[in-house]
Homo-oligomer: A and B are copies of this chain.
Amino acid sequence: MVKYNPRTWLALIFHPYSRQVVKTLFPALAAMGVYTALIIFLIDDYFGLEFESTTVVHSLLGIVLGLFLVFRINSAYDRWWEGRKFWGSLLNNSRNLATRISVMLPQSDKEIKNEIGSLIAAFAASLRLHLKDKLNKESRIFNEFPIIADLVDKEHIPNAIIWTLTDRINRLYLSGKLSGKQLFLIDKDLKELSDILGGCERIKNTPIPYSYSMYIKKFIFTYTITLPFAFITEFGYVSIPIVLLIFFILVSVELVAEEIEDPFGNDANDLPTKELSEKIKRNVYELMAD
């Protein structure tokens, strides 16, 4: 709660990330400022038009736009949170699967336990890269997990790892090392791994519908482009900071929404998938060692 004293607030405003946002928006802000100044100059000073401006229209539309932006950020956040749930669930399922294998197989089957442990850890690591479009033949994970080295030519690596896992488990069942009951319990965990893979791919590949995203951009554009006309009569050149303030607040929302909408990227706010996949590796190896 200490973070609420004003110093922290000031620190926030000058935080590197914050400055980066301002930098990203700077060209747009500058253009907007010039545009507003030009409009005012032309109407007030050059043509000297008798223009009676009104803030009523922009008040009304501003609230409607605000509603859309809140809905926009809301659905972006839902995607982010759903992605987080998938990764939390991945951590959990990996642990469960490792616990079960570790407990169900006799102490002597050290080797097969280690293989399955490697496959589980490799799945998380490969999913991470897969979601970042960074998984290729040169990826370091083929060295890190030698067990998946021969899957390097597969089109869809995480899928192939699940296939390998399913195959191993099925063979343990056929050789009588796992009972039908135990196969069933393990199979559920495997299915969830596959659901997590599918869910993450869905979030990554399906942005918000194009027409909707474009509608909001057009709304913001139309709104800000007409803003100077609303303030010109009453405020003259003072309209410039007012227009910029409103513009900054509205466009920032879109920026924040776009950033948290894709939770698997490399932005400052994306999910800590690296930490999570390493934690999975550490946890699974520890459980397998028991």
Please state if A259 and B191 are interface contacts (CB–CB under 8 Å): no
Among residues 259 to 287 in chain A, which have CB atoms less than 8 Å away from a CB atom of chain B? 259-260, 267-269, 271, 282-283, 286-287
Please state if A260 and B212 are interface contacts (CB–CB under 8 Å): yes
Copies in the complex: 5
Please state if B198 and A89 are interface contacts (CB–CB under 8 Å): yes
List the one stretch of A39-47, A59-67, A110-118 in contact with chain B: A59-67
A99-B163, A197-B92 are contacts. A218–B13 as well, Cβ < 8 Å?
yes
Q: For chain A, which range describes its interface: under 10, 10 to 19, 20 to 34, or 35 or more residues?
A: 35 or more
List the one stretch of A25-33, A129-137, A138-146 in contact with chain B: A25-33
**A152 on the interface (CB 8 Å rule)?**
no
Partner of A269, one of B5, B13, B24, B209: B209
Q: What's the nearest-Cβ distance from chain B to residue A109, in Å?
A: 14
CA distance A185 to B6 in the complex (A): 55
In the complex formed, the residue of B with least CB distance to A223 is B249
CA distance A18 to B57 in the complex (A): 23
Please state if A260 and B28 are interface contacts (CB–CB under 8 Å): no
Q: Mask for A192-228, Cβ within 8 A of B = 1, else 0?
A: 0011011101100010111110110111011000100
19 pairs across A/B with beta carbons < 8 Å? A4-B255, A15-B214, A17-B210, A18-B218, A52-B235, A55-B56, A57-B246, A60-B62, A67-B70, A77-B209, A84-B202, A91-B201, A92-B198, A99-B194, A155-B282, A180-B181, A206-B271, A212-B260, A215-B253
A-side interface residues toward B, CB under 8 Å?
A: 1, 4-6, 9, 12-13, 15, 17-18, 21, 24-25, 27-28, 31, 52, 54-71, 73-75, 77, 80, 84-85, 88-89, 91-92, 95-96, 99-100, 102-104, 154-156, 159, 162-163, 166-167, 170, 179-181, 183-185, 187, 191, 194-195, 197-199, 201-202, 206, 208-212, 214-215, 217-219, 221-222, 226, 234-235, 238, 242, 245-246, 249, 251-256, 258-260, 267-269, 271, 282-283, 286-287, 290
The 6 tightest CB contacts between A and B, nearest first, are A92-B198, A64-B66, A88-B202, A180-B181, A60-B62, A67-B70
8 new A-B contacts, CB < 8 A, other than A84-B206, A99-B194, are A9-B221, A15-B214, A56-B59, A77-B209, A88-B201, A95-B159, A156-B286, A184-B184
